[in-house]
Amino acid sequence: HNLEMKHLPGADPELVLLSLRYEELERIPLSDMTREEINQLVQELGFYRKETPDAPVPEEFQFAPAKSLPILLPPHAPTADGKTPPKYDKEEHPDL
């Protein structure tokens, strides 16, 4: 769930992690990894694996593996309207 594969001919395979705003957070090269290692990696990153393609996704995984707000915005960084966003716990995200 929330994982999309795009095949780019000639490109080395890599996992690109995006924020809720589709900003690139990290690129992880996959060339030297086995299928089992890649499956383990995405599980460790918090992706949910459905048992069948049309199986429902539990509510707690709907936005997984979304990073928490403090990672997306530096602490005390002003927003577009100039106000400082409220502080949230590490795992808490106001939009989820």
What pTM did the predictor assign? 0.59
Measuring CA to CA, which residue among 70, 60, 78 is closest to residue 25? 70
Render the burial of 9-30: b for 16+ CB within 10 Å, e for the rest. Answer: eeeeeebeeeeeeeeeeeeeee
Domains detected in the chain: 1-69 (3.40.30.50)
- Rounded to whole angstroms, the Cα distance separating 22 from 66 reads 11
pLDDT at residue 25 tops 60: yes
More confident residue, 76 or 47: 47
pLDDT at residue 73 tops 50: no
Residue carrying the six token digits 């890599």: 14
Residue-wise pLDDT for 33-56, tens only, equals 999 999 999 989 988 888 898 999
Q: Give the H/E segment covering residue 26.
A: strand 24-29
Q: What's the average model confidence in pLDDT over 55-83?
A: 64
* Average pLDDT of the chain, as a whole number: 77
Range 24-32 contact pairs with CB under 8 angstroms and sequence separation of 24 or more? 25/67, 25/71
